[in-house]
Amino acid sequence: MNAFRNVKLGINIDHIATLRQARLGDFPKPWMAARAAELGGADGITVHLREDRRHIQDFDLRQIKRVINVPMNLEMALSADIIKIALWLQPEKVCIVPEKRRELTTEGGLNVIGAQKALRRAIPQFQEKGIEVSLFIDPVRRQIEAAHRLGVEAVELHTGTYANAKGERRKRELRRITHSAQLAHKLGLKVHAGHGLDYQNVRAIAFIPAVQELNIGHSIIGHSVFVGLKSAVREMKRRVTDSRKSPRGSSPKSSR
Ligand code: PXP
């Protein structure tokens, strides 16, 4: 039995912005994805404002915050520019992540011990504004203990290695995450988990009693294409066919 009756589900909508940025246009709009995710039952909306602004843009943050009724979780690197934006935006939560310019996605957990000095400066600035702070870390005892010493409210355990592993290695990684979650919970930290979780591998992680929240993006956005592609094509097909009957028509309800 899970110690927490329900595991909360935060939806990362960065990839909607990735799709928009592919054309540098204004569609699809991340705020519309945030609303749709909320209607689907999302308990939170997660976005990562990367230093290179490859997907989410500054204006997205304002728009998303304005339209959602669930907590906003801003993933961010410890850079002065991003800290300033986060303090101004005041999302309900921030999750501090490591960031490398050339990575495809966040590759590993934060080295809390190495970044201690900067974290010690930044964390109270968020907490003074009532923003909950979480650190994205590998499921490793010394990182959890260091996070605890810094006085953050939560840790997000990196599930990427688990997601990529197979067979025995995956089982070993699951045990590591389970023990880490137990330790963090015992220390009074909220336990979140995320990265690489999909419809197949999520169950074992959601089953861990100490895990309170999952943040999932890529697999859900990818799956949504196939859940919606058939009707999107059907709608276009109808329009193309109908245009021979009457050249004027209305725009689809779901787009701009
Ligand atoms: N949690 C954190 C801290 C992340 O950096 C990411 C990726 O942006 C996720 C969760 C979501 O990962 P995925 O897109 O693989 O589900």
Tokens of 97: 């992540």
Q: Probe ligand 1: pick from 105, 133, 137, max atoms within 8 Å of CB?
A: 105
Q: Is the CB of 105 under 6 A from ligand 1?
A: yes
* Structural domain total, the chain: 1
75 bridge partner residues: 48, 95
Full residue range of the structural domain in which residue 94 is found: 8-242
Q: Determine if ligand 1 sits within 6 Å of the CB of residue 95.
A: yes
Q: Has residue 251 been placed in a domain?
A: no
Helix 141-150 to helix 167-186 angle (10° resolution) is 30
What is d(CA 87, CA 107) in angstroms, rounded to the nearest whole number? 25
Q: Is residue 85 one of the residues assigned to a domain?
A: yes
Q: CB within 8 A of 83, min separation 6: which ones?
A: 76, 122, 125
- Three-state DSSP class for 20? helix
Distance CA 109, CA 136 (A): 5
Tell me whether residue 250 is in a domain: no
**Angle, to 10 degrees, between the axis of helix 30-39 and the axis of helix 58-67?**
30
Q: Rg of the Cα trace of the chain?
A: 20
Q: Please indicate, yes or no, if residue 3 is contained in any of the structural domains.
A: no
Contact call for residues 60 and 25 (beta carbons, < 8 A): no
Q: Which residues contact 238 (CB under 8 A, 6 or more apart)?
A: none
194 lines ligand 1 (CB under 6 A): yes
The pTM of the full predicted model, rounded to 2 decimals, is: 0.93
63: left (phi over 0), alpha (psi -120 to 50) or beta: alpha
CB 86 within 8 A of CB 72: no
What CATH number did the domain enclosing 88 receive? Answer: 3.20.20.70
**Nearest atom within ligand 1 for CA of residue 10:** 10
Transcribe 30-87 into DSSP letters.
HHHHHHHHHHTT-SEEEEE--TT-SS--HHHHHHHHHH-SS-EEEEE-S-HHHHHHHH
Tell me, yes or no, whether 255 lies in a domain. no
Does some domain include residue 247?
Answer: no
pLDDT values of the chain reduced to their tens digit, one per residue, 256 residues: 455 678 999 999 999 999 999 999 999 999 999 999 999 999 999 999 999 999 999 999 999 999 999 999 999 999 999 999 999 999 999 999 997 766 777 778 999 999 999 999 999 999 999 999 999 999 999 999 999 999 999 999 999 999 999 999 999 999 999 999 999 999 999 999 999 999 999 999 999 999 999 999 999 999 999 999 999 999 999 999 999 887 676 666 655 5
> What tokens appear for 140 in the block?
């490793």
Task: Tell me which of 8, 9, 11, 46 to substitute to probe ligand 1's pocket, judged by most ligand atoms within 8 Å of the beta carbon.
Answer: 46
Token pair recorded at residue 38: 């909320």
Q: Are 74 and 86 in contact (CB under 8 A)?
A: yes
Does 151 reside within a domain?
yes
Q: Is the CB of 76 under 6 A from ligand 1?
A: no
Which residues 6+ apart lie within 8 Å of 72 measured at CB? 44, 45, 46, 47, 64, 65, 91, 92, 93
Q: What is the pLDDT of residue 21?
A: 97
What CA–CA distance (Å, rounded) separates 29 from 33? 7
Q: Does residue 126 have its Cβ closer than 6 Å to ligand 1?
A: no
* Identity at 168, one-letter amino acid code: E
Q: Which residues contact 181 (CB under 8 A, 6 or more apart)?
A: 139, 157, 191, 193, 208, 209, 210, 211
Measured by CA distance, the residue closest to atom 9 of ligand 1 is 195
Residue 18 lies in a domain: yes
